[in-house]
Structure 1
Amino acid sequence: MNTPASPLQPAVVLVNLGTPDAPTPKAVRRYLAEFLHDHRVVALTRWLWCPILHFVILPFRSPRVAKLYAGVWMDGGSPLAVHTARLADAVQREMPEARVVHAMRYGNPSLRTVLQQLRDAGHPRVQVLPLYPQYSTTTTASVGDVVTAVFGDSGVARMRDDYHVDPDWVEAVADSIRAHWDVHGRGERLLFSFHGIPQRLADAGDPYPLQCWAGCDAIVRALGLHEDEALLTFQSRFGREPWLQPYTDETLKALGGEGVRDIDVVCPGFAVDCLETLEEIALQNAEIFHEHGGRRLRYIPCLNDAPAHAQALAALVRRDLAERA
């Protein structure tokens, strides 16, 4: 919230999921408690879920997750925190006519606090952009809950639901893949790995998996690839119930067993690099691929604060604001 601006300007809020404040068990436990208390994330009744969360999951999971964060921590904080702040700065440079800030749905800077500050400052229009290209009830809808709680039906704040087939965003992702291939060469397959959600949510109508497929298809077309040159998978499943399939780790095991030696992996569902991309994909899944016969997994970084990313998001927000003028 350090960008000087007139309250008469529109305000733009880029919202990411969130991150612990430090790679310590205490900080991770605090973050996970907030995250996993959200009904959008875990829909179990509280009398059943809270004892499991506080007496089983948090005591055992927090120290292990803290070690994972420590392995990718940056000087300015977690990768997600650092890259999200840099992305907001990059979008601000593209949009001098607006006040651009960032917030986290869980953790800091708190989305609720940021929105309250913008409301109290008197900005006539607040445009909220969740940094989730694909809509899900588990992520985007939760951001919407906070927007509604702060602004009600005043009409001051509005939120974009998705941008998974936006042409500028699609081209930015495609260009990042081409640039990676130019430097590192091209693997035998391009694997798209998206964060998973429980299958029951998709069965209940959550549009997330369909939007993942649509966005993947758009990027594949932009790259001019044949269908058999690209694969779509889902990562980060948790618990015992079925999640969206095919699973990333199981697919990598199968590809290694089939004789695929080199594979490129991109994660376009993540706006910026984070624990799930830098640790889960680039380290854990690379090791899984190698253990099952693969030679090299090359992870293609997220768009982060690349100029094309900032330009694409700025164009999205400008169109949204123009519709309200």
Structure 2
Amino acid sequence: MTPADSPADHPRIPPAKTGILIANLGTPDGYDYWSMRRYLNEFLSDSRVIDLPRWKWQPILQGIILTRRPFSSGANYKTIWNEEKDESPLMTITRDQTEALRARAVAEWGNDVMVEFCMRYGNPSTQEVVGGMVEAGCRRIVFLPLYPQYAGATSATANDQLFRALMEQRRQPAVRTCEPYFDRPDYIGALAASVERALDGQKPVKLVASYHGMPRRYLMQGDPYYCQCQKTSRLLQERLGWEDGIIDTSFQSVFGREEWLRPYTVEHVADLARQGYRDIAVISPAFASDCIETLEEIQGEIREAFEHAGGERFTYIPCLNADPEHIDVMMNVIRENIAGWV
């Protein structure tokens, strides 16, 4: 359509829409060497993830890490790959979350709302999706990074990429970025319900809440991630009505030689087994979707560390994924941020 009083050669202007864009971490397009190398290069070149000076880091990345790591990472991805759809589980789950949100949003606000997803690394890229939404007529966009707890290396870099994408648009939409939802009662309730379902209402001897790790230095520089993780664990314990000492908070996915947030999950579960804890459960409250860190690392390396140290029963509690209660949480966050726009 074009404005009624426009000249005949005026470019077409699509009807105005309000966009809802969710963003996940990302995924390689395949588990072959070159797909993995492209993905890892983009991920590990992000200064929010690795904040070493480029002159120091890039020779190491390009000369050593990207020569070897695509093989080992590709092998790990191959063990969890969704062969039927030829994509990683993270892609499958994020699409399912988007479709569930789209159905809810259209039912509530009609067809003038557009719901899409993007990946910070890999495809579909933030630039590609934002460009498509603007072209489709989105004049306003609510942006929800799928990270319950805020960290510079997750939420902030997702926002960075959104703003870079906006820099490429001649007509920029208004945007609202959503706050992390680590302490929302509905999110804590959804986590608690997932624990109760997985454990059939039984109280475990030990529940390990394993969060993605980051260098301890980031905490000392003001990143709130560690504190938000601790609060999520505390609120989950309170919601479940459990006494102190049942839920332990630990951190996984350590990279490099620098000191990271402790305790490290892979070491902690082995210590628990050596202390006589033969039956533990593990949950991952920092991940909105099951991914390589949960499906391969937790259920592979971390499970093996527990069993090799004498542990007998290891229960992994899946991420909230596209569970209806998780979609409820997302919709509640979106409603609060879209208020006045629809």
- Does 2:88 align with 1:78? yes
Q: Which amino acid aligns with 2:150?
A: Y
Residue type of the partner of 2:31?
Answer: P
After TM superposition, give the deviation of residue 187 of structure 1 in Å: 3.3
Which of 42, 56, 61 in structure 1 is aligned with 2:64?
Answer: 56
C-alpha deviations, 1:295-314, integer Å up to 9, x for none? 01110000111111111101
Q: What code does the residue aligned with 1:269 have? A: A
Residue 276 of structure 1 is aligned with which of 273, 293, 297? 293
- 1:315 corresponds in structure 2 to 332
Q: Is the 8 A contact 2:138 2:173 kept in 1?
A: no
| Structure with bigger gyration radius | 2
Determine if the alignment matches structure 1 residue 33 to structure 2 residue 8. no
Counterpart for residue 183 of structure 2? 165
Identity %: 39
Match among 95, 117, 136 for residue 121 of structure 1: 136
For residues 142-291 of structure 1, the aligned pairs below 5 Å read 142-151=157-166, 156-182=174-200, 186-291=203-308
Deviations 1:148-171 (A, max 9, x none): 223359661121131101111111
Higher mean C-alpha displacement, 58-67 vs 146-155: 146-155
Aligned partner letter, 1:72: I
Contact 1:84 1:272 in 2 (8 A): yes
Q: Write the distance in 2 (CA, Å) between the matches of 1:103 and 1:265.
A: 28
Letter of the 1:102 counterpart = F
Deviation at 1:291, TM superposition (A): 0.4
Q: 2:51 aligns with which of 12, 20, 43?
A: 43
Matched-pair contact (CA < 8 Å) for 2:273–2:311: yes
CA contact (8 A) 1:233 1:247 kept: yes
Of 32, 38, 46, which residue of structure 2 is paired with 1:24? Answer: 32
- Offset from partner CA, 1:175-216 (integer Å, 9 cap, x none): 011111118x55321110000010111110000001111111
SS state of the match for residue 12, structure 1?
strand
Q: Is the 8 A contact 1:186 1:264 kept in 2?
A: no
Q: Secondary structure at the match of 2:52?
A: coil
Structure 2: how far apart are the matches of 1:323 and 1:180? 39
- Render the CA deviation track for 1:270-315: whole Å, top value 9, x for unaligned: 0010000011001211111000011011100001111111111011
Contact persistence 1:286–1:296 (CA under 8 A): no
Instruction: Name the residue aligned to 1:3.
Output: none
Q: Which amino acid in 2 is paired with 1:58?
A: L
The aligned amino acid for 1:143 is A
Query: Is contact 2:118–2:129 with CA below 8 Å preserved after alignment?
Result: yes
Cα distance between partner residues in 2 of 1:32 and 1:149: 20
TM-score by length of 1: 0.94
Q: Report Cα offsets for 1:5-47 as digits up to 9, x if no partner.
A: x853311111000010111121111100011111111111111
Contact 1:119 1:151 in 2 (8 A): no
CA distance in 2, matches of 1:149, 1:285: 37
1:324 CA displacement: 5.5
* Consecutive unaligned residues in structure 2, runs of 5 or more: 1-13
TM-score normalized with structure 2 length: 0.90
**Per-residue deviation, 1:173:** 1.0
Cα RMSD over matched residues? 1.6
Match of residue 116, structure 2, among 95, 101, 104:
101
Per the alignment, do residues 324 and 99 of structure 1 end up closer, same or farther by CA in structure 2, a change over 3 Å counting? closer
Task: Specify every segment of 5 or more residues in structure 1 that has no aligned partner in the other structure, as ranges.
Answer: 1-5
SS of structure 2 residue aligned to 1:280: helix
